[in-house]
A = this chain, B = another copy of it.
Amino acid sequence: MPPQTAQVDVRDAFIDLGVGQPGRSLLPVPIIRQAADHRFAQGASGYLQYGAEQGDGYFREVLAAFLTGSHGFEVRPDRLFVSGGASQALDLICTLFTESGAVVCVEEPCYFLALKILADHRLRVVSLPTDQDGLILDGLEDRLAALRPAMLYLIPTFQNPTGVTLPRERRERLVEICRRHQVLLVADEVYHCLNYDAVPPTSFGAYVDGGYVLVLGSFSKILAPGLRLGWVYADPRMVDRMTRSGLLDSGGGLNPFASGLVRSVLELDLLRPHLAELRGVFRQRITALGEALRRDLPASAFTVPSGGYFLWLRLPGVDTAAALPHANALQVGFKPGTWFSSQAGLTDCLRLSFAFYDTPTLLEGSRRLGQAMARLAS
């Protein structure tokens, strides 16, 4: 049996621009090692015990202080619930706040793996239209009144796959609408801290009062996915419901050991410089990739995103799912647009990521992609 050691096996010669994970060179072994040394030297052993259901209090305090610096409002430790990552949090939210058969609204396009989590909970997904500023709010109230969904799930900042960010005015109006229709708004903000340009609008965390908004955060995109550590920011009433769940009551906090380590990362102020480095690397990559794509795929339409992991590209007249084998033949991959549709649409779109490969490899990938599309057209 060949041991599988990563979520996605990437062949060396093949450039899979569909892969949405940080590249090996961005995984901060020295930071984790330094944090571990610091934590082990403290004498205490609480991080090896069943942890507090809400998450370690010391960790939540230092995390709140860190997020306050980047989120544009005072993040409070008593509103933080420590999760095992955004996917785990979404799974728990589905268990606690929905029932089999309920309707959940998502954006079109939507993060395709969120759709799988919703499907595992037997939820009925209904997609809502978006434009260059994210979710379209005109007509939304009528849809919500007709559908009566249990939940609305969206990625408001540097969306996966489009890279689009919802402006402040839409955020405030959306919160009001969800409150009025008693729909739980789940804002997946795992890319919020990864801005390569202007600071994004205030996090949905500013609107959690009253319990209609849950915000998902994660260390997967800004530190290391393997830690399986994230958070939910919510009204104390919602935090309390998650804390009192059977899963938490039985297993204790979701990741005490990783929390202890990342507590040290934050106490030693190692995350801030790492984030600055990530921003610099990704800014440089996305600028270069944007230029290359304009040259290699002149017929394509796209906007260079100002944050996140992804670039969303439209190739008018091309069925990207059908084009994929042709691209693969030239040793390059991408994610076809239909993957991100809950209604088999978006057939002329595709998603590229610049998180995994360095700039020279991204440029070579763009070149192969251009070649594949040119061959396909001829």
Residue positions of A touching B, CB distance < 8 A: 1-8, 21-22, 24, 27-29, 32-33, 36, 40, 45-54, 56-58, 60-61, 77-78, 84-88, 90-91, 94-96, 99-101, 111, 113-122, 220, 224-228, 245-247, 249-258, 260
Contacts and interface: CB of A to CB of B under 8 A. Distances in A.
A154 to B, nearest CB: 16
Given A49-B226, A260-B226, A3 B251 contact: no
Given A87-B247, A245-B116, A52 B228 contact: no
Given A226-B256, A228-B254, A50 B121 contact: no
Kindly name the residue among A2, A4, A114, A121 whose own CB sees the greatest number of chain B CB atoms within 10 A.
A4
A50 B84 contact: no
A203 to B, nearest CB: 21
Contacts of A27: 45, 48-49
Contact of A115 (B6, B51, B85, B246): B246
A266 B224 CA distance: 24
A2 B117 contact: no
A265 to B, nearest CB: 12
A100 B120 CA distance: 12
A354 to B, nearest CB: 17
Nearest to A44: B5
Contact of A50 (B7, B47, B260): B7
Contacts of A84: 84, 88, 228, 251, 254-255
A150 B247 CA distance: 20
Given A3-B58, A5-B52, 13 more contacts: A6-B49, A7-B253, A21-B49, A22-B49, A24-B49, A27-B49, A46-B226, A48-B227, A50-B226, A91-B247, A99-B100, A100-B100, A255-B255
Contacts of A45: 24, 27, 29
A114 B225 contact: no
17 contacts: A5-B51, A5-B52, A7-B52, A21-B50, A24-B45, A29-B45, A29-B48, A36-B36, A84-B88, A87-B246, A87-B250, A88-B247, A99-B122, A114-B246, A120-B246, A225-B256, A257-B258
A353 to B, nearest CB: 13
Contacts of A85: 251
A257 to B, nearest CB: 5
Copies of this polypeptide in the complex: 2
Nearest to A247: B91
A47 B261 CA distance: 14
A52 B84 CA distance: 16
B54 A4 contact: yes
A78 B1 contact: yes
A95 B250 CA distance: 17
